[in-house]
Amino acid sequence: MAIHDLQSVEAQPFGAFAPQGLIARIIHWTRRAPDSFLGRKLAYALRRIGLRSLDGKPVDIEALGARMRLYPDGNVCEKRVLFTPQYFDPAERDLLASRIKEGFRFIDIGANIGAYSLFVAAKAGPGARILAVEPQPDVFSRLTYNIAQNPFGTVKAVACALADKPGELTLFIDPANRGESSVRILRSSTGSQVKVPATTLLALAESEGYDRLDAIKLDVEGAEDLILEPFLRDAPESLWPSLVLIEDSRLRWQSDLTLLLTRCGYELLAQTRMNLIFERKSG
């Protein structure tokens, strides 16, 4: 039976939904599948069986160095992290990990359930400062739950959207994949809408007392330009992040972020299937 009452689920201690039996075996197999055509094909086939077996129930598990309660039905991010974390942006995470240093400052925009934020927290140590920004109310609840299950003490969740100006925005929810929800109108006509508070990236950084940013990640389904363009226009260069990991939504942007970042001194380090990674050398 599917579990719909999120509050009653969150009241259960971590471990109450530990994988058992067939699900445990499927997770064991999918996580050890090699990164090859046949390995991925087998892993994805087993993952479909696992999702049907779960029937909407969550799973308590460790992934990417952190403890998480994952709801893989209806959220591709959680599905990937649960069954196949080895395929979850490996090049992006490796590059990000290689830039982590003492006192690392990271803002995760479109944090979802915290996979990137908790991955960085597990690597960065107690001197890090990490903001996990997520506007969807129920996904934000999952995010804060996951943060609380870990001892890091360096991740702060922020319940808002980021945009080109402060105020209130309509968030369009994709019921098939909560990670596809956006402040820009979805192609799907079956989603719901919710009003969420909004602020700018500069206002958020200033309100949190940041004097520098080492890295930011933007995954907001085509609204990355609404966030980054005004930030690079208005923020002092001392606040510009050294590393920018951004979802490749060039077909949906209303401005050329690649050109803007290049003009601001960033170099395209890598382009993966899903993301663009830019770096700006200090000085």
Q: Alpha carbon 164 to chain centroid distance? A: 20
Task: Count how many domains the chain has.
Answer: 2
Average pLDDT over all residues of the chain = 90
Q: Please check whether residues 260 and 136 belong to one and the same domain.
A: yes
- List the domain range (segments joined by +) for residue 57: 6-82
Q: How far apart are CA 169 and CA 163, in angstroms?
A: 9
pLDDT (tens digit, 9 = 90+) per residue, 65-74?
Answer: 999 999 998 8
Same structural domain, 162 and 34: no
Length, in residues, of the chain:
283
Residue 103 lies in a domain: yes
The count of C-alpha atoms lying within 13 angstroms of the C-alpha of 113, restricted to the half-sphere facing its C-beta, is 27
The pTM assigned to this predicted structure is 0.90
pLDDT tens digits, one per residue of 83-104 = 999 999 999 999 999 999 999 9
Closest listed residue to residue 78, CA positions, set 136, 151, 8, 164: 136
Residue 189 has pLDDT above 70, yes or no: no
pLDDT, position 170: 83
Q: Which of 39, 58, 82 is the last residue of a domain?
A: 82
In the predicted model, is pLDDT for residue 1 greater than 50? no
pLDDT at 114 over 90: yes
The letter for the amino acid at 124 is A
Q: What is the pLDDT of residues 18-32, one digit of tens each?
A: 999 999 999 999 999
| CATH number, residue 139 | 3.40.50.150
Q: Which parts of the chain fold into alpha helices (H)?
A: 6-10, 21-31, 37-54, 76-83, 90-98, 115-124, 137-148, 201-207, 224-234, 257-263
Q: Is the pLDDT of residue 185 over 70?
A: no
103 and 27 part of one domain: no
Residue 22 placed within a domain: yes
Kindly indicate the confidence band of residue 267, based on its pLDDT and cuts at 50, 70 and 90. Answer: very high
Q: Is the pLDDT of residue 33 over 50?
A: yes
User: What average pLDDT does range 108-123 have in this prediction?
Assistant: 97
Q: State whether 115 and 218 are in the same domain.
A: yes
Same domain, 144 and 206: yes
